Amino acid sequence: MRERLRDGAKQNTIRRLDHAAMLTLLDESAVSVPKRGPSKRKAPVGGHREARAKVRVGQGAFRKNVIARHGAQRAVTGPCPEAAHLISFAKNESHEDGLLLRADVHKLFDRGLLAVHPDTLCVEIAPALAGYHYYSEFEGVPIPEGLDRAVVRDLYLTVTAKWKEE
Protein backbone atom coordinates (compact mmCIF):
# COMPACT_ATOMS: atom_id res chain seq x y z
CA MET A 1 0.00 0.00 0.00
CA ARG A 2 2.77 2.48 0.88
CA GLU A 3 4.19 2.23 -2.61
CA ARG A 4 0.90 3.71 -3.88
CA LEU A 5 1.56 6.90 -1.92
CA ARG A 6 3.69 9.53 -3.63
CA ASP A 7 5.52 10.88 -0.59
CA GLY A 8 6.34 7.61 1.22
CA ALA A 9 5.38 9.10 4.59
CA LYS A 10 4.76 6.63 7.41
CA GLN A 11 2.09 8.66 9.19
CA ASN A 12 -1.53 8.19 8.10
CA THR A 13 -2.70 11.58 6.93
CA ILE A 14 -4.32 13.19 3.94
CA ARG A 15 -1.70 13.35 1.19
CA ARG A 16 -1.18 12.92 -2.52
CA LEU A 17 -1.61 9.47 -3.94
CA ASP A 18 -0.69 7.79 -7.19
CA HIS A 19 -4.12 7.50 -8.80
CA ALA A 20 -3.16 4.85 -11.38
CA ALA A 21 -1.42 2.71 -8.74
CA MET A 22 -4.45 2.95 -6.47
CA LEU A 23 -6.79 1.85 -9.29
CA THR A 24 -4.47 -1.13 -9.88
CA LEU A 25 -4.65 -1.96 -6.16
CA LEU A 26 -8.45 -1.79 -6.24
CA ASP A 27 -8.57 -4.00 -9.36
CA GLU A 28 -6.33 -6.53 -7.61
CA SER A 29 -8.58 -6.57 -4.54
CA ALA A 30 -11.77 -7.18 -6.55
CA VAL A 31 -13.29 -3.82 -5.62
CA SER A 32 -15.59 -2.59 -8.36
CA VAL A 33 -14.53 0.83 -9.60
CA PRO A 34 -16.69 2.59 -12.19
CA LYS A 35 -14.90 3.28 -15.43
CA ARG A 36 -14.42 6.92 -16.21
CA GLY A 37 -15.42 8.10 -19.60
CA PRO A 38 -15.97 11.53 -21.01
CA SER A 39 -18.44 13.31 -18.76
CA LYS A 40 -21.49 14.93 -20.31
CA ARG A 41 -22.41 16.61 -17.05
CA LYS A 42 -21.52 20.22 -16.45
CA ALA A 43 -20.11 21.31 -13.14
CA PRO A 44 -22.72 22.97 -10.93
CA VAL A 45 -22.67 26.73 -10.92
CA GLY A 46 -21.82 28.22 -7.54
CA GLY A 47 -22.66 31.52 -5.95
CA HIS A 48 -25.60 32.87 -4.03
CA ARG A 49 -29.18 33.88 -4.72
CA GLU A 50 -31.69 35.95 -2.85
CA ALA A 51 -34.53 34.02 -1.21
CA ARG A 52 -37.43 34.52 1.14
CA ALA A 53 -38.00 31.85 3.73
CA LYS A 54 -40.58 31.04 6.35
CA VAL A 55 -38.97 30.72 9.75
CA ARG A 56 -40.59 28.31 12.19
CA VAL A 57 -41.28 30.03 15.49
CA GLY A 58 -41.49 28.20 18.79
CA GLN A 59 -39.26 25.13 18.23
CA GLY A 60 -37.19 25.88 21.33
CA ALA A 61 -40.27 26.18 23.53
CA PHE A 62 -41.71 23.00 21.95
CA ARG A 63 -38.53 21.10 22.81
CA LYS A 64 -38.63 22.39 26.42
CA ASN A 65 -42.28 21.37 26.72
CA VAL A 66 -41.57 17.85 25.43
CA ILE A 67 -38.68 17.52 27.90
CA ALA A 68 -40.86 18.81 30.74
CA ARG A 69 -43.63 16.35 29.83
CA HIS A 70 -41.55 13.24 29.08
CA GLY A 71 -38.19 13.87 30.76
CA ALA A 72 -34.80 14.38 29.14
CA GLN A 73 -34.42 10.78 27.95
CA ARG A 74 -34.78 10.22 24.24
CA ALA A 75 -37.51 7.85 23.30
CA VAL A 76 -35.69 4.89 21.72
CA THR A 77 -32.02 5.96 21.91
CA GLY A 78 -31.19 7.47 25.31
CA PRO A 79 -30.20 11.00 26.49
CA CYS A 80 -29.38 14.20 24.54
CA PRO A 81 -32.78 14.98 23.05
CA GLU A 82 -34.01 16.43 19.79
CA ALA A 83 -37.76 17.10 19.68
CA ALA A 84 -39.81 15.48 16.90
CA HIS A 85 -43.42 16.49 16.22
CA LEU A 86 -46.09 13.79 16.30
CA ILE A 87 -48.29 16.02 14.15
CA SER A 88 -46.36 17.51 11.22
CA PHE A 89 -45.53 21.15 11.89
CA ALA A 90 -45.23 21.75 8.14
CA LYS A 91 -48.87 20.74 7.64
CA ASN A 92 -50.47 22.17 10.79
CA GLU A 93 -48.06 24.91 11.91
CA SER A 94 -48.77 23.86 15.47
CA HIS A 95 -46.48 22.56 18.19
CA GLU A 96 -48.44 19.60 19.51
CA ASP A 97 -47.02 16.68 21.50
CA GLY A 98 -43.74 15.17 20.43
CA LEU A 99 -41.02 12.63 21.05
CA LEU A 100 -37.37 13.06 21.91
CA LEU A 101 -35.29 11.29 19.26
CA ARG A 102 -31.68 11.18 18.10
CA ALA A 103 -31.24 13.30 14.94
CA ASP A 104 -30.95 10.39 12.47
CA VAL A 105 -33.87 8.52 14.08
CA HIS A 106 -35.88 11.78 13.98
CA LYS A 107 -35.33 11.89 10.20
CA LEU A 108 -36.51 8.28 9.86
CA PHE A 109 -39.59 9.14 11.92
CA ASP A 110 -40.35 12.22 9.81
CA ARG A 111 -39.93 10.19 6.61
CA GLY A 112 -42.33 7.51 7.80
CA LEU A 113 -39.70 4.79 8.22
CA LEU A 114 -40.25 4.41 11.94
CA ALA A 115 -43.60 4.23 13.73
CA VAL A 116 -44.94 3.78 17.24
CA HIS A 117 -47.55 1.08 17.75
CA PRO A 118 -50.50 2.74 19.51
CA ASP A 119 -51.36 -0.23 21.76
CA THR A 120 -47.89 -1.24 22.92
CA LEU A 121 -46.12 2.14 22.50
CA CYS A 122 -43.22 0.20 21.00
CA VAL A 123 -41.20 1.16 17.95
CA GLU A 124 -41.81 -0.53 14.61
CA ILE A 125 -39.36 -0.19 11.74
CA ALA A 126 -40.34 -0.04 8.06
CA PRO A 127 -39.54 -3.19 6.07
CA ALA A 128 -37.19 -1.05 3.96
CA LEU A 129 -34.87 -0.76 7.00
CA ALA A 130 -34.84 -4.47 7.88
CA GLY A 131 -31.29 -4.95 6.57
CA TYR A 132 -29.84 -2.05 8.57
CA HIS A 133 -28.93 -3.47 11.98
CA TYR A 134 -28.27 0.00 13.42
CA TYR A 135 -31.96 0.77 12.96
CA SER A 136 -33.57 -2.67 13.12
CA GLU A 137 -32.27 -2.95 16.70
CA PHE A 138 -34.89 -0.31 17.63
CA GLU A 139 -37.72 -2.70 16.68
CA GLY A 140 -39.83 -3.29 19.78
CA VAL A 141 -38.14 -0.66 21.94
CA PRO A 142 -40.76 0.95 24.20
CA ILE A 143 -41.19 4.70 24.26
CA PRO A 144 -42.28 6.72 27.31
CA GLU A 145 -45.95 6.85 28.32
CA GLY A 146 -47.92 10.06 28.08
CA LEU A 147 -48.44 10.51 24.34
CA ASP A 148 -51.88 11.17 22.93
CA ARG A 149 -52.83 7.63 21.87
CA ALA A 150 -55.33 8.87 19.25
CA VAL A 151 -52.59 10.92 17.54
CA VAL A 152 -50.17 7.97 17.76
CA ARG A 153 -52.83 5.65 16.27
CA ASP A 154 -53.60 8.00 13.34
CA LEU A 155 -49.92 8.43 12.57
CA TYR A 156 -49.26 4.69 12.87
CA LEU A 157 -52.09 3.77 10.49
CA THR A 158 -50.96 6.36 7.94
CA VAL A 159 -47.30 5.33 8.06
CA THR A 160 -47.78 1.56 8.06
CA ALA A 161 -50.29 1.77 5.18
CA LYS A 162 -47.48 3.23 3.07
CA TRP A 163 -45.21 0.33 4.06
CA LYS A 164 -47.75 -2.10 2.59
CA GLU A 165 -47.77 -0.17 -0.71
CA GLU A 166 -44.01 -0.55 -1.15
CA distances from residue 53 to 58, 83, 94, 111 in whole angstroms, order as listed: 16, 22, 18, 22
What residues does 120 pair with on adjacent strands? none
Tens digit of pLDDT per residue, the chain (166 long)?
Answer: 555 555 666 666 666 777 787 777 777 776 665 666 666 667 677 777 887 777 677 777 877 877 777 676 656 666 656 778 777 766 766 677 788 888 888 888 889 999 999 999 999 999 988 888 888 888 998 887 888 888 889 989 999 999 988 7
* Angle, vertex CA 112, rays to CA 131 and CA 109, nearest 5: 85
Query: Is the pTM for the entire model greater than 0.75?
Result: no
Q: Tell me if 56 sits within 8 A of 92, measured CB to CB.
A: no
CB-CB neighbours of 106 under 10 Å: 22
* Angle, vertex CA 106, rays to CA 103 and CA 111, nearest 5: 130
